Amino acid sequence: MNVLLIGSGGREHALAWKLAQSPQLGKLYAAPGNPGIAKHAKCIALDVADHGAVVDFCRKYEIGLVIVGPEAPLVAGIADALAAAGINVFGPSAEAAQLEGSKGFTKELCDRNSIPTAAWQRFNNAPKAKAYLRQVGAPIVIKADGLAAGKGVTVAETLEEAFAAVEDCFEGAFGDAGAEVVIEEKLIGEEASCFFICDGTTALPFGTAQDHKAVGEGDTGPNTGGMGAYSPAPVMTPDMSARVLREIVEPSLRGMAEMGAPFTGVLFAGLMITEQGPKLIEYNVRFGDPECQVLMMRLDADLLSLLAAAAEGRLMDVSADWRDEAALTVVMAAKGYPGTPEKGSAIGGIDEAGSVAGVQIFHAGTALEGDRLLAAGGRVLNVTALGASVTTARDAAYSAVDKIDWPGGFCRRDIGWRAVAREAKG
């Protein structure tokens, strides 16, 4: 089967690496791809915002499955255009992608289907939002309703912070995404991310992970897209995973089908494991980046067959095996990230780092100039390792990091610290 993979980050490199191992794979194309993906796929310049052009490409190159990595093309309706043209696609319709595209949409789905989540209210103007804040007090969480590249959330410890966050939203700090604001109760517990591949009616559990969003060690400093991750998430015991499926994910799929927007693709549930049980913080409609990188290291099954089964509504008939080992990824970012990253610095030692046992280096934001590898983004490399425990995986990942010669980059040295501390206690 010929496959078109849409995206250009470390997530897509990990997907391409795993797809390339499939005996079912014919030719793999990536739009636009990156220098790491180019080892497994033919990278093509295709304007993915031009749905007609994507459909034409798929017809011409006999694409049997389109896999969409990032959320933006999904929210823009690329899956609808492909489905209307009779082309199989792994990824939700624009309507179903509102699970990520609108916080209020997801909250309403939770309310209609008794799905456990933080208590909430939605506002379209600052005075009403502030009056509500005065009533409920702090701590409290303020969210821009729409897609704000992970930056639209403030966990406010004081009312002043909460007021400032509301003002930012309505003054346009997040553009249209901030035209409405969701205010919700602060949940207390340990966070975990759970992944499910879905075919509209069936959800197949697809691994768990924990990420580190803050740029600085000890989880301090501004939030990023993610500075590292590990899998599995220790809080997700088999019992807790079963509860998440039963209490959160299955009712969500039923609710989406009932509203005529069945969900196909990856459902990424961001959860808080509270004393009362699992509660939904948010959904994303795609794999996490860098969570996908650790999931792909642990998946012991044919990714292409699984994603094709999801796209074709056949998940009832399949299962996925996972390695017992843990996986951990360290994100190497260009200096300046998450502000403006310095571009164009040279990266050396990649091959040596990639030869450390159990290690895969995924490219996130790189470019080739002749045979020189250069930084071309904020998050640049994902140094990823498999090991008998999170601690072993971490040691392998950092020994590979130490072989990379890149003065223009940095990484956190403490990825996985909670799990490592847990393992040290036994």
Pairing, β 409-410 against β 326-334 = antiparallel
Q: Give the interface segment with ligand AMP, choosing from 92-100, 183-191, 330-338, 344-352 (CB under 6 A).
A: 183-191
Contact between 95 and ligand GLY by CB under 6 A: the answer reads no
Note whether 214 and 167 are within 8 A (CB): no
- Looking at the Cβ atoms of 118 and 415, the one nearer to ligand AMP is 118
Which of 291, 302, 325, 414: binder of ligand GLY (CB under 6 A)? Answer: 291
Residues 6+ apart with CB under 8 A from 307: 65, 67, 90, 197
Please state at what angle helix 10-19 crosses helix 303-311, rounded to 10 degrees: 100
CA distances for 304 relative to 44, 48, 161, 218, 299, angstroms = 20, 21, 46, 37, 12
Please state at what angle helix 103-112 crosses helix 250-258, rounded to 10 degrees: 100
21: left (phi over 0), alpha (psi -120 to 50) or beta: alpha
> Rounded distance, CA 378 to CA 134, Å?
38
Contact between 186 and ligand AMP by CB under 6 A: the answer reads yes
- Class of residue 179 by CB neighbours under 10 A (exposed 0-12, middle 13-18, buried 19+): middle
Contact between 152 and ligand GLY by CB under 6 A: the answer reads no
Which of 226, 228, 341, 408: binder of ligand GLY (CB under 6 A)? Answer: 226
Q: Which tokens go with 388?
A: 């008998």
CB 116: neighbour CB atoms within 10 A? 19
Q: How many residues bind ligand AMP (CB under 6 A)?
A: 12
Contact between 187 and ligand AMP by CB under 6 A: the answer reads yes
118 binds, among ligand AMP, ligand GLY, none (CB under 5 to 8 A by kind): ligand AMP
Applying the rule CB under 6 A, the residues between 385 and 424 that interact with ligand AMP are none
Which of 225, 265, 358, 416: binder of ligand GLY (CB under 6 A)? Answer: 225
Which of 138, 155, 159, 301: binder of ligand AMP (CB under 6 A)? Answer: 155
52 binds, among ligand AMP, ligand GLY, none (CB under 5 to 8 A by kind): none
Contact between 184 and ligand AMP by CB under 6 A: the answer reads yes
Here's the x/- map for ligand GLY, 25-44, by CB under 6 A: it reads as: --------------------
Q: What is the closest distance, in whole angstroms, from the C-beta atom of residue 100 to ligand GLY in the complex?
A: 9
Which of 191, 219, 247, 423: binder of ligand AMP (CB under 6 A)? Answer: 191
Here's the x/- map for ligand AMP, 258-277, by CB under 6 A: it reads as: ------------x-------
Residues in the chain, total: 426
What's the distance, Cα to Cα, between the start and end of the chain in Å? Answer: 46
Of 141, 142, 144, the residue nearest 177 (C-alpha):
144
SS3 percent helix, strand, coil of the chain, rounded to 5, is 35, 30, 35
76 binds, among ligand AMP, ligand GLY, none (CB under 5 to 8 A by kind): none
CA distances for 340 relative to 149, 238, 379, angstroms = 15, 41, 11
Q: What is the closest distance, in whole angstroms, from the C-beta atom of residue 276 to ligand AMP in the complex?
A: 13
Contact between 217 and ligand AMP by CB under 6 A: the answer reads no
Q: Give the interface segment with ligand AMP, choosing from 72-80, 129-137, 184-192, 326-334 (CB under 6 A).
A: 184-192
> Rounded distance, CA 15 to CA 17, Å?
5
Q: What is the closest distance, in whole angstroms, from the C-beta atom of residue 213 to ligand AMP in the complex?
A: 6
Contact between 235 and ligand AMP by CB under 6 A: the answer reads no
Contact between 141 and ligand AMP by CB under 6 A: the answer reads yes
Q: What is the closest distance, in whole angstroms, from the C-beta atom of residue 139 to ligand AMP in the complex?
A: 8
Please provide residue 239's backbone torsions phi and psi, each rounded to the nearest 5 degrees. Answer: -65, -45
- Per CB under 6 A, residues contacting ligand AMP are 118, 141, 150, 153, 155, 184, 186-187, 191, 270, 281-282
Q: Which residues bind ligand GLY (CB under 6 A)?
A: 150, 211, 225-226, 284, 288-289, 291
